[in-house]
């Protein structure tokens, strides 16, 4: 019998993406303090967050396969997580305006036997220049506040994006090709190819 799969995330976007693989899974949020350490590079921070989320949920859900992820937006070496308030979201959107930024997602897995595995994916997103009015209208929508970098590619912010180089699902929060390969290594059950 295959160990149950648990997605260590409350993100509806990650739930929808993972469902595309045709696997049944449970959801258990892996809440950890999301603060970079001094001198910690963005890649290290995202990987540490994903591993910590997986470990927290693995402690609560023994004998299950735990999948966790963390996505960060990086501009000029600065990590943009989820905005703390409207001013923070505005600052992030202003920084993204008219520029290309990096979106990094680390995915960590702890299988039922306690084996650990992870993947790391980077995409590049180019925004067109945004007007102050566009930013305020987008902030009024409420969409930016639970998303790294204060925007969602799958939502209203799509209109701001000129180009995505790399995995689009990575920008949304779960790099599907890499996640499918990761799960195939640890779950004997059939994993569908992402749509």
Q: Among the options 31, 70, 87, 88, which is catalytic? A: 70
In the chain, what is the straight-line distance between the N-terminal and C-terminal CA atoms, in Å?
26
94, 49 Cβ separation under 8 angstroms: no
Give the Å distances, CA to CA, from 90 to 73, 77, 96, 149, 168: 15, 18, 10, 10, 23
Nearest in space to 9 (alpha carbons), one of 53, 48, 45, 71: 53
Q: Are strands 161-165 and 116-127 parallel, antiparallel or unpaired?
A: antiparallel
The token pair that represents 153 in the structure block: 């590619």
Using the Cα atoms of residue 42, residue 159, residue 174 and residue 120 in order, give the sign of their dihedral: negative
What's 171's DSSP letter? Answer: H
Residue matched to tokens 């989820």: 82
Does the active-site annotation cover 177? no
> Which active-site residues does the annotation give?
70
């Amino acid at each position: 019998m295959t160990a149950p799969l648990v997605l260590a995330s409350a993100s509806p976007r990650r739930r929808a993406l993972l469902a595309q693989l045709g696997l049944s899974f449970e959801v258990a949020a892996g809440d950890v303090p999301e603060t970079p350490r001094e001198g910690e590079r963005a890649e290290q921070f995202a990987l540490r967050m994903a591993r910590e989320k997986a470990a927290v949920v693995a402690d609560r859900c023994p004998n299950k396969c735990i999948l966790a992820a963390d996505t960060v937006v990086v501009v000029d070496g600065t990590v943009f997580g989820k905005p703390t308030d409207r001013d923070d979201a505005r600052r992030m959107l202003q920084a993204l305006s008219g520029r290309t930024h990096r979106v990094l997602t680390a995915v960590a897995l702890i299988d039922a036997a306690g084996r650990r595995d992870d993947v790391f994916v980077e995409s590049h997103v180019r925004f067109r220049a945004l007007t102050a009015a566009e930013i305020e209208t987008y902030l009024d929508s409420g969409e930016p506040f639970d998303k790294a970098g204060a925007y969602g590619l799958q939502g209203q912010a799509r209109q701001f994006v000129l180009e995505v180089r790399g995995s689009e699902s990575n920008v949304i929060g779960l790099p599907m090709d890499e996640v499918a390969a990761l799960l195939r290594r640890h779950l004997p059950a059939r994993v569908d190819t992402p749509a």
